[in-house]
């Protein structure tokens, strides 16, 4: 297995002979369960884990005729923005040699960008579909929380994550969303009241009269070349009949801190199951369970996962729960209110997807804070449980730049229509 391999495994799961995706191939992020095919989450902890069942999204894709061609590399348990925390080494970026493909769904975006699959599935907890879509020059959709079933997804942060498609075009991504969305009795978080299906039909580029809000806080801190590409894209949308104006999201300055407290807290709880008894490698302990528990986690988890478990456990501990976790939840509610007010003034919101172009390989590994801060434009969307799409918007110094379009709850058609106008 090559360290730079996009695919962790290349098993094929054949779809139906007929259906809207018949004959199409899909690569699947390696934290989504596939019956009889290894699902490692990019971790030594699950290096040999083979699920006995398919996730709902896998059932729906194969039912629509698609063929699953392999599992894609990812940051370990979804914790990272570069794919470099994977136990299998980083995936390459076909659109920018020597640069990371983004994360945590970096392998999925890279597979689409390299033409190794027609489409791919990723998961987005704080930008993990949109980040690699922007870095690899493809389209990625983060759906409204509850639109797509999470049954069969290995959980990282339950209240934040959603499964979403990556594809070469907006219409392609919308077609995959059509196939995987909808209620699921096995996932109580699915909620589709108010959802407007047939998303592919919205990719018609008709944005006459569309009002676009530009959150100043999400543009001002971006790299100069990224800002230039962003404003060029806004000019293109204006020429197609849209109008734009600036809006403000005052809570955004607290969003990254709130997100990481909440995400790490939920991760520390979710990953408690990896103890060498329920999941994970078995270690010799001489009958001392505490020593066995510590040994298997030391052996199975990488440094970034350990860091987040420790920080999350600390935030939830006695005496600190109200100081950190409760305060983060208050900030989350503030972020959601700011978005609601912004959508009273605009149909969609727009920003650069990532404030910087793709990192050089190895650039962010020694500075985790730099990696966390790079999520500044994407994590607010997850805190507010809103839909967003990243669409290619040119380059800066030969490196891909993405524009993020954000919609209100179940506003997928709005953002798909606006994104298709950029194509």
Tell me which residues are annotated as active site. Answer: 29, 104, 128
- Helix (H) and strand (E) counts for the chain? 12, 11
Residue 244 · residue 360 · CB < 8 Å: no
- How far apart CA 345 and CA 246 sit, in angstroms, is 10
Cα(78)–Cα(151) distance, integer angstroms: 16
Handedness of CA 273, 277, 283, 285 (dihedral sign): positive
Distance between CA 410 and CA 387 in Å, rounded? 7
The runs of H, that is alpha helices, within 140-241 are 170-180, 224-239
Give me the torsion for CA of 117, 118, 124, 126, rounded to 10°. Answer: 90
Residue among 406, 416, 355 at smallest CA distance from 384: 406
Name the nearest CA neighbour of 106 among 397, 359, 355: 359
């Amino acid at each position: 297995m090559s360290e730079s391999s996009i695919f962790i495994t290349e098993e094929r799961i054949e779809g139906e002979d007929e259906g809207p995706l018949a004959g199409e191939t899909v690569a699947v992020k390696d934290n989504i369960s596939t019956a009889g095919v290894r699902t490692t989450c990019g971790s030594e902890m699950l290096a040999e884990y083979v699920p006995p069942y398919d996730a709902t999204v896998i059932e729906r894709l194969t039912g629509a005729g698609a063929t699953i061609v392999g599992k894609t590399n990812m940051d370990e348990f979804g914790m990272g923005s570069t794919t470099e925390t994977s136990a299998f080494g980083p995936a390459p970026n076909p659109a920018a040699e020597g640069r990371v493909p983004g994360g945590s769904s970096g392998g999925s975006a890279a597979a689409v960008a390299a033409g190794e699959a027609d489409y791919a599935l990723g998961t987005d907890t704080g930008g993990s579909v949109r980040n690699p879509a922007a870095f690899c020059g493809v389209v990625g959709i983060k759906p409204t929380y509850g639109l797509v079933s999470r049954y069969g997804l290995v959980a990282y942060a339950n209240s934040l994550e959603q499964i979403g498609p990556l594809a070469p075009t907006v219409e392609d991504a919308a077609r995959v969303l059509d196939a995987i969305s909808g209620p699921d009795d096995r996932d109580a978080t699915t909620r589709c009241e108010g959802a407007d299906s047939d998303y592919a039909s919205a990719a018609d580029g008709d944005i006459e009269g569309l009002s676009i809000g530009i959150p100043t806080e999400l543009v001002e801190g971006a790299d100069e070349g990224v800002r230039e590409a962003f404003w060029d894209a806004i000019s293109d949308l204006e020429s197609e009949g849209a109008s734009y104006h600036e809006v403000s999201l005052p809570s955004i300055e607290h969003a990254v801190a709130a997100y990481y407290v909440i995400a790490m807290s939920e991760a520390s709880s979710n990953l408690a199951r990896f103890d060498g008894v329920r999941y994970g490698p078995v270690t010799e302990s001489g009958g001392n369970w505490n020593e066995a528990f510590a040994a298997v986690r030391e052996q199975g988890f990488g440094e970034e996962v350990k860091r987040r478990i420790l920080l999350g456990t600390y935030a939830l501990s006695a005496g600190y729960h109200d100081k950190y976790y409760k305060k983060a939840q208050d900030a989350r509610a503030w972020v959601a209110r700011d978005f609601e007010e912004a959508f009273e003034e605009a149909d969609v919101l727009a920003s650069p997807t990532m404030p910087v172009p793709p990192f050089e390989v190895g650039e962010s590994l020694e500075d985790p804070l730099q990696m966390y801060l790079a999520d500044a434009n994407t994590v607010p969307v997850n805190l507010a449980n809103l839909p967003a799409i990243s669409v290619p918007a040119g380059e800066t110094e030969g490196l891909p730049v993405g524009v993020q379009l954000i919609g209100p709850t179940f506003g997928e058609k709005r953002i798909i229509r606006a994104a298709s106008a950029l194509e």
